[in-house]
Amino acid sequence: MHVVKISTTGLGNCAELNQVPYVYASTSFGAFVLPARCPHRGGPLHLARVEGGSHRLICPWHGRATPVGRAARHGLPAVRRGDRVSIVFPGDRPDDCLVVHRPLSPDISLRPGDRPTSVAHA
């Protein structure tokens, strides 16, 4: 296994493994590590909005609704401590793991006081 630490907000908030970006999503219904690409067409799911009254993320490219449970299942186990998140990637340490920045939509970047503090595991 390989552990990567990222920021919950701002610079360094995205881990890219094998060219797949992952961000920490913090919503009104929980928090989890999320693949930052839409599973349908690869759109920027890190810019998604949460559909009102549901647990679905809406892709900004084509409007497809992705249930958060499905997105979280494709995510990774993580532990949050303060403003840092440790993400556990399976397998050996990859050669191409980067920590970069991705802007997050307001719907998936709530502050700790705005949401439950538990991190959902994939």
Give the residue extent of every domain in the chain.
Answer: 2-114
Quote the pLDDT of residue 59. Answer: 92
Quote the pLDDT of residue 94. Answer: 64
Q: How far is CA 7 from the centre of its chain?
A: 11
Separation CA 107–CA 51 (nearest Å): 9
SS3 112: helix
Position 2 pLDDT exceeds 70: yes
* CATH code, 2-114: 2.102.10
What digits encode the pLDDT tens for the residues 33-90? 888 888 888 899 899 998 877 788 899 998 888 887 766 666 688 899 999 999 988 8
Of 90, 76, 71, 55, the closest CA to residue 122 belongs to 76
Quote the pLDDT of residue 96. Answer: 73
Separation CA 85–CA 55 (nearest Å): 22
Position 114 pLDDT exceeds 90: no
Enter the tokens of residue 48: 């998604």
